[in-house]
Amino acid sequence: EAGVVQSPRYKIIEKKQPVAFWCNPISGHNTLYWYLQNLGQGPELLIRYENEEAVDDSQLPKDRFSAERLKGVDSTLKIQPAELGDSAVYLCASSPAWTSGYYEQYFGPGTRLTVT
Partner 1 sequence: RKEVEQDPGPFNVPEGATVAFNCTYSNSASQSFFWYRQDCRKEPKLLMSVYSSGNEDGRFTAQLNRASQYISLLIRDSKLSDSATYLCVVGAGSYQLTFGKGTKLSVIP
Q: Which residues bind partner 1 (CB under 8 A)?
A: 31, 33, 40-45, 48, 56, 91, 95, 98, 101-105, 107-110
Identity of the residue, 72 or 109, whose beta carbon is nearer to partner 1 in the bound complex: 109
Cβ closer to partner 1: 2 or 102? 102
Of 64 and 74, nearer to partner 1 (C-beta) is 74
Going by C-alpha positions, the residue among 80, 114, 108 that lies closest to residue 5 is 108
Give the nearest distance from C-beta 25 to partner 1 in angstroms: 13
Q: How far is the CB of 107 from partner 1 (least distance, A)?
A: 4
* d(C-alpha 96, C-alpha 35), whole Å: 17
Q: Give the Cα separation of 31 and 8 in Å (integer).
A: 21
- State the DSSP H helix or E strand holding residue 41, giving kind and residue range, or none if neither: none
Taking the complex as a whole, how short is the minimal distance between the CB of residue 31 and partner 1, in angstroms? 6
**Residues 103, 74: Cα–Cα separation, whole Å:** 20
